[in-house]
Amino acid sequence: MRMIVTIAALSLAAGSTLVHAPLHAATDCKDPISAKARSAAQVSDASRERRARENAIANWQRRARDTHGWRYRFWRKAAEKKVECGGGASAKHCTVSARPCRVL
């Protein structure tokens, strides 16, 4: 019985390690890419800024994919992310910059 419990514990630990392996895996990152977007939609300032930020990130993803290939298109895997937004009452604009990365 003790042997079965030990084997089960080791199996669980090994499975847990496999689930978390990508978090510690090496990455390959490229030079930074920048992208911009603007929103002048007739909505609240917060919604305009959110739309500008989301569109800037979508533009960044397209540029990363077109420049380095589809494996580099993910904003969530990028390194050194920078998001700068501004604008006035009628329009908001955002610029994003990051180094596209992929897990090896």
- C-alpha dist (Å) from residue 95 to 47, 51, 75, 83, 86: 16, 12, 14, 6, 9
Query: Is 3 part of a structural domain of the chain?
Result: no
- For 5-37, the pLDDT digits (tens) are 445 444 544 444 334 334 456 689 999 999 999
CATH number of the domain within which 63 lies? 3.30.110
- For 63-89, the pLDDT digits (tens) are 999 999 999 999 999 999 999 999 998
According to DSSP H, which parts of the chain are helical?
Answer: 2-20, 45-68
pTM exceeds 0.85: no
Q: How many domains does the chain have?
A: 1
In angstroms, rounded to a whole number, what is the distance separating the alpha carbons of residues 8 and 56?
A: 48
Query: Is 66 part of a structural domain of the chain?
Result: yes
Which conformational region is residue 51 in: left (phi greater than 0), alpha (psi within -120 to 50 degrees), or beta? alpha
